[in-house]
Amino acid sequence: MYITEVLTRTKKGKVSHRCVLLRESFRSNGKTCNRTLLNLTHCKPEEVAALRLALKHKHELEKLELGLHSSDSALRSTMRSAKQNQPPPPFEMEQGASVGAVWAVYQVGRQLGIDAALGNSWMGKLALWQVVARVIEQGSRLSAVRLAQSHAACDILGIRRGFDENDLYDNLGWLTKHQQEIEDRLFAKTYSQKAPDLYLYDVTSSYLEGDHNALGAFGYNRDGKRGKKQLVIGLLCDDRGRPISIEVFVGNTTDPKTFGAQIRKVADRFDAKNVTLVGDRGMIKAPQIKDLGREGFHYITAITKPQIEKLLEQKLIQMELFAAEVAEVKSPKDGVRYVLRRNPIRAAEMAEVRQSKLASLRKHVEKAHTDLTKRPRTKAEVRLRRAEQQCKALKLSPWVSLRLVGRSLQMSIDEVALAEEQKLDGCYVIKTDLDEKIADGQTVHDRYKDLAEVERAFRCCKTVNLEIRPVYVIKEASTRGHALVVMLAYHILRHVQQAWVNFDLTVKEAIEELSTLCATKIIHQNQVIANQVPKPRPLSARLLKALNIQLPEILPHLGTRVVTRKKLPESRKKG
């Protein structure tokens, strides 16, 4: 469909009549034909110009509507020129902001339903930008604002109102207030056909650099950072490792105390029936099992080494059952099933670590022995005490003993105790109340091993890609909102990782490649009226194709003002 002008001329070549027609072209018997749909001669020139503009961008009317407010004056000028039969003012081109990375991450978020879960309000748009910014470049709220200044964030996400870092900090509180609604909407979108019948749950800790976070406390630190407060973070995922809900607890909260909230969440919010929750050893104990039973839920967990030894003493299980293939024993007392296995690779790793520790202690003893021989003033009791402390720190004291013979420090190994120590290397026992008809031993084993998906999510969120720390916030609401942003960003990151698995690029390198794709500003009478998106380079095109994403030809220019309250020159002067 197009608009054309038909001019009728006199014999002397002067225009006697001008006819404006709306036509369409079509194929008939292999020939191109034209059909007149409407006579627009009676229309005003500005109306014809508006129709031309609409037809030119007929596939992007939504974008055109967004951009009209910024191009009204330019459009009026063009219409005036058309009315006066004058050539329109010239257009200029200028390099614009980066569009490739923001567009790709935003479109993935739309595919996953994250934008719909956050909503179309100004706060929802800001939250969406925080998620997109976390995927593109990790940092504080200040860095997210600076990122919005160099990327076409507002034009792509449709953010019409300006913002600064204080607005983003407030937005974290808004996210916390609406977290349940957001997670519920995302759950409904993801599982519109069928809700999962198995949930994975695990807990991690994240240390803090400061002392003032409202949820920070000293506790069991999985990061090995002594003397630092921490947060405890629980992540609930489906059977495929997709995150469903995240929760932040005070840093000294023990793992089992976090589990009750997950049971209520699955039962009340997700309306789950007869489902199974999978938790790591030490997570699901007797009180948690009772809570699960009251809801009609089942569990899969592992038991600790002392518990395995107790079952061996009771002769409910035997060492012969631990092999590379899974074995199963059912307790006649309560019907609980125990799935047993020995991982030969893990057993070899444990033996290697033990020998490495022994070599380290032996080196320490040899040095002490040399000092006692060559330095008469060295106190033998002091050297013995230091060696015993080293032995205890390496956890070798159950089967390694140290003693002084004169001024000679000697080390001996209790072979019986060492054999007892090695007995359960690579052995583990999985415990469940699931019926054999629902899941056999191998299925129970495999579902427990699925917890590795949660561990992978924690690893990605904490250090590899999304870097939940350092936590640049202090308030409780801001901390919880920050964790939710990271979880939603992991949703997107997990999707792009799967889509780009065949590329010889890391996710970070791929996003940096897309970030090089910049728009071209279209300037009319010193005013930016739109952003033209150029054709991407071959690599960028392949990355977008793998995500099933197409770039638009043109984007609106909303002119949203994004500023930072903190200015770097001022900070440098103070420093």
In whole angstroms, give the CA distance from residue 523 to residue 92. Answer: 5
CATH class of 194-316+432-473: alpha beta
Label residue 403 left, alpha or beta by phi (over 0 means left) and psi (-120 to 50 means alpha).
beta
Dump strand ranges (E) for 307-461.
327-330, 337-342, 400-405, 408-413, 427-432
In whole angstroms, give the CA distance from residue 560 to residue 153. Answer: 10
Q: What is the pLDDT of residue 70?
A: 46
Q: What is the pLDDT of residue 66?
A: 46
Q: What is the pLDDT of residue 449?
A: 92
In whole angstroms, give the CA distance from residue 308 to residue 253. Answer: 26
| Residue 166 CB coordination number (10 Å) | 14
pLDDT, tens only, 558-572: 888 998 887 767 766
Q: What is the pLDDT of residue 74?
A: 53
pLDDT, tens only, 497-539: 999 999 999 999 999 999 999 999 888 777 887 788 999 999 9
Using a 10 angstrom Cβ sphere, with 0-12 exposed, 13-18 middle and 19 or more buried, the burial of residue 562 is: buried
Low-confidence ranges of the chain (pLDDT < 50): 66, 69-71
In whole angstroms, give the CA distance from residue 427 to residue 271. Answer: 37
Residue 201 in 3-state DSSP? strand
Residues 6+ positions from 7 with CB-CB distance below 8 Å: 15, 17, 18, 19
- DSSP string computed for 100-118: HHHHHHHHHHHHHTHHHHH
In whole angstroms, give the CA distance from residue 183 to residue 427. Answer: 38
In whole angstroms, give the CA distance from residue 482 to residue 469. Answer: 10
Tokens of 201: 């749950």
Let me know: does 247 contact 259? Beta carbons within 8 Å: no
Domain ranges within the chain, ordered by starting residue: 1-42, 194-316+432-473, 345-422
Tokens of 377: 């003033």
Q: What is the pTM of this model?
A: 0.78
- DSSP string computed for 211-251: S--TT-B----TT--TT--EEEEEEEEETTS-EEEEEEE-T
- Edge-to-edge strands, sheet with 554-556: 91-98, 518-524, 527-532, 554-556
Q: What is the pLDDT of residue 448?
A: 93
In whole angstroms, give the CA distance from residue 251 to residue 175. Answer: 21
